[in-house]
Structure 1
Amino acid sequence: MASVQKRGENSWLLVVEAGCDANGKRIKKTKTVKGMGKREAEKELAKFVTEVEVGQYIAPEKMTFSAFVDEWLEKYARNELSPKTLENYIIQINNRLIPEFGHLRLDQIKPLHIVTFLKNLQQVGGRKDGKEGKLSSGMIEYIHRVLKNVFNRAVDWKVIKTSPMEGIKKPKVEQAEMSVFDDEEVQRLFLALEKEKIMWRVMITLALTTGLRRGELLGLEWKHIDLETGTIDVKQSLSFVKEIGYQIKEPKTKNSVRKVAMPPSVIHEVKALKIQSAKERMQSGELWQGGEHFFVFSSWNGKPLYPSSVKTWWSRFIKRNSLRYIRFHDLRHTSATVLINKGVHAKIISERLGHANILTTMNI
């Protein structure tokens, strides 16, 4: 037996009977839905009946953290978070949060549990990638953010009254010392690039001279480059999500959509790469995998590069040429540092990098 009972303005109590307990007392499952008319509430009741009958319904007060995460994924995360953000959230949930809290009921998780968990992450051995040392403060702050998001939804949906995250300060992020190449290292880098394939040579040169992000470089198409004026229109970024594949979207922020001038010394190499790319596209014929896109940096058949392949190539290149290791992203910081050392105004550098605020440039 099931019924819909009006509780208030557009608020309804769904009641489903689920047999009797050992003492012969009727078992009733209830659920409140809001913001809908009676017809919509009756549709929700039909779904609720099915959940109870197949044993999928879990009373909120008995829901474990693991069970709630499933609800959070289905009813919030997959719709509200970007695919890449969702992928990163799920990694932390599966690797750290479920093993720690998955078996506990939501109402059993207290602030002290969270504080202890975050404290333990700061200890040596907290990494999951096999590397030595401690987990970075930035990653600990990220895990805190994921936990807060999950518990905030639990409060919003009235599964728990208060979040155990309340009163817990966000972990302080210690800014790592910036690693950039100095002038001598930049010269050694360019000498080493002379031995590399033209695609990698142009990519690294543009990263160093224009300050484009990795995703912006990978999303760059030939139609975005004007070789006559020597400018690049930064209009999109490319990323890769396991469940979805390649994604092309607008750059990181509104200010990231910009026009960047290339140094005259780079244009000749870019022209040579364009000629080579055009030949490869023609030769690939039916094997072309670029679709309507013609990326500047891609495989011979037009298929976009995996962002991780750029990181792998860069690490091997650095080791092969005995250069000091800096991240690929640090080429962007090196680009800004070179301009600062040449006396270029911070506002111009900020616009070139696509920062939303000049303070961002100066703080970095």
Structure 2
Amino acid sequence: MSQITRRKATVFPYRGKWRVQYVDTFGRQRTQTAETRKDAYLQLAEIEGQVRKGFLNLTPEQIPSLGQYLDYWLQKREQELNPTTHWCYQSHVANNLKPLMGNLRLDSVSARQIQDLYSYLLEERGFKSGTVRKVHSILSSAFKLALKQGLITYSPLAGVSQPKFEQKQIEVFTKQEMECLLRHASQKPSKPHLRWLLALRYGLRQGEVLGLKFGDFDLISRTVKINRTVNSLPGKGVVELPPKSKHSQRTIPLDAKVIQLISQIQDGSGFVFTAEDGSALEATVDQRRWRALLVESGVRHLPLHSARHSVATHLVNGGVNPRIVQLLLGHSSAAYTLATYVHPNTLDIAHALGIDSPGVEIPMLLADNKSDIRPPKGGN
């Protein structure tokens, strides 16, 4: 195969101006025009620098639109991401990015256009800052890949400010409310009793509970292994996934009541909590049953994930080592558990200081807002 002979780049006068002639990355002869000889040499130096960095010098017709490149980016990332995250990215691309900016040529997208997009999503569509920050993350990753591949010379995200991180108020159940919920759960058959015990006493994530199989329980050692989670994805139904993180994979000791309940319902090696066909129970069904339990118990409505926050809060307030709470919940650090899942209030502070009850309880302290487009699941 004959090798392409690269001709030396030249600068020469042309019709009262100056022309730069060079050979691009693919061996094609290309030209650009400048007003002065100095401008022409500056252009040449910039072109040669871009070629050395791997910039492809594509023609406008060869550069994809932002929508086309986002589809390509999603395809490239699919193997690296868990299905839930990939679904989330697909939703943002399909519902927000492609309809609003997808027709723009990749190398023509400006920082101002992206900043205007964020303002539109916040003000017109009512998105929370956490959701727009996710959009920012997607665009940042896509433009970073385009830059690495030589399709663009700079990322417009360098001139964009993402929305400030907003904190979200998290409410937790009181001790009395937790006891009331556990009491009403204990009046149910063994399987629903077990389901709510795992949430209200052990603080397991919804996906972790619904992903439990009988084989995960060891009745001899009285432990359960958290090896998987499940989630409901549009078009795919309930899918089995690895744990949320390496810290989420853990072994938890069980009390006698849980062992008694699992012994009463054990009927195979499949999922413990199932739909009629034996598949893992969908999160939406589980959520409806949770709301029914709240109504039956006469307890105020809080999301199911608040049970997990409540477990952490009351364990730490009760003097349990935060490191133990971290291991129970499957977090990466005790600091994260304390900062995100423990919500003391003024009464807790007063009791810690030995002060009589101030009589008024202000709302729980703030915790991280992880708002995002996502299919129903148990949370963090």
TM superposition score normalised by structure 2: 0.69
Secondary structure of the 1:259 match is: strand
Question: Residue 304 of structure 1 aligns with which residue?
Answer: 280
Which whole-Å CA distance do the structure 1 matches of 2:295 and 2:112 have between them?
Answer: 45
Q: Is the 8 A contact 2:181 2:293 kept in 1?
A: no
- Report the Cα offset of residue 142 of structure 1: 1.2
Which whole-Å CA distance do the structure 1 matches of 2:194 and 2:3 have between them?
Answer: 66
- Report the Cα offset of residue 88 of structure 1: 0.7
Counterpart of 2:155 (choices 142, 151, 163) is 163
Question: Residue 59 of structure 1 aligns with which residue?
Answer: 61
Question: Residue 324 of structure 2 aligns with which residue?
Answer: 348
Which whole-Å CA distance do the structure 2 matches of 1:244 and 1:78 have between them?
Answer: 15
Answering whether residue 337 of structure 2 is matched by residue 361 of structure 1, we say yes
Which whole-Å CA distance do the structure 2 matches of 1:312 and 1:4 have between them?
Answer: 68
Change (3 A) 1:339 1:260: same
Q: Is the 8 A contact 1:4 1:13 kept in 2?
A: no
Which whole-Å CA distance do the structure 2 matches of 1:4 and 1:306 have between them?
Answer: 60
Secondary structure of the 1:260 match is: strand
Q: Is the 8 A contact 2:112 2:160 kept in 1?
A: no
- The alignment's C-alpha RMSD in Å is 2.9
Task: Describe the superposition over 1:317-339 as per-residue Cα deviations: whole angstroms up to 9, x where unpaired.
Answer: 43565432222222111111121
- Report the Cα offset of residue 344 of structure 1: 0.4
TM superposition score normalised by structure 1: 0.72
**Matched-pair identity in %:** 28
Q: Is the 8 A contact 2:132 2:162 kept in 1?
A: no
Q: Is the 8 A contact 1:210 1:261 kept in 2?
A: no
**1:241-260 map, 5 Å:** 241-260=233-252
Question: Residue 73 of structure 1 aligns with which residue?
Answer: 74
Question: Residue 26 of structure 2 aligns with which residue?
Answer: 13
Q: Is the 8 A contact 2:172 2:306 kept in 1?
A: yes
- Report the Cα offset of residue 5 of structure 1: 4.5
Question: Residue 299 of structure 2 aligns with which residue?
Answer: 323
Task: Describe the superposition over 1:158-200 as per-residue Cα deviations: whole angstroms up to 9, x where unpaired.
Answer: 2222111113234332221222111111122123324545323
- Report the Cα offset of residue 6 of structure 1: 8.1
Which whole-Å CA distance do the structure 2 matches of 1:188 and 1:341 have between them?
Answer: 19
**1:121-270 map, 5 Å:** 121-123=121-123, 125-126=124-125, 134-194=126-186, 196-270=188-262
Which whole-Å CA distance do the structure 1 matches of 2:113 and 2:61 have between them?
Answer: 23
Change (3 A) 1:80 1:265: closer
Greater relative contact order (CA < 8 Å, ≥ 6 in sequence): 2
Which whole-Å CA distance do the structure 2 matches of 1:319 and 1:96 have between them?
Answer: 37
Answering whether residue 104 of structure 2 is matched by residue 104 of structure 1, we say yes
Letter in 1 for 2:129: S
- Report the Cα offset of residue 243 of structure 1: 5.0
Task: Describe the superposition over 1:128-159 as per-residue Cα deviations: whole angstroms up to 9, x where unpaired.
Answer: xxxxxx42222121121112122222222222
Q: Is the 8 A contact 1:6 1:13 kept in 2?
A: no
Which stretch shifts more, 151-160 or 263-272? Answer: 263-272
Change (3 A) 1:104 1:327: same
Change (3 A) 1:239 1:58: farther
Secondary structure of the 1:135 match is: coil
Question: Residue 355 of structure 2 aligns with which residue?
Answer: none
- Report the Cα offset of residue 97 of structure 1: 0.8
Letter in 1 for 2:92: Q
Q: Is the 8 A contact 2:224 2:253 kept in 1?
A: yes
Greater C-alpha radius of gyration: 2
Unaligned runs of 5+ in 1: 16-56, 127-133, 282-292
Which whole-Å CA distance do the structure 1 matches of 2:288 and 2:62 have between them?
Answer: 46
Secondary structure of the 2:133 match is: helix
Which whole-Å CA distance do the structure 2 matches of 1:6 and 1:91 have between them?
Answer: 47
Unaligned runs of 5+ in 2: 7-23, 29-58, 341-380
Answering whether residue 95 of structure 2 is matched by residue 95 of structure 1, we say yes
Q: Is the 8 A contact 1:207 1:332 kept in 2?
A: yes
Which whole-Å CA distance do the structure 1 matches of 2:235 and 2:3 have between them?
Answer: 39
- Report the Cα offset of residue 111 of structure 1: 0.6
Letter in 1 for 2:87: E
Which stretch shifts more, 334-343 or 261-270? Answer: 261-270
Change (3 A) 1:268 1:115: same
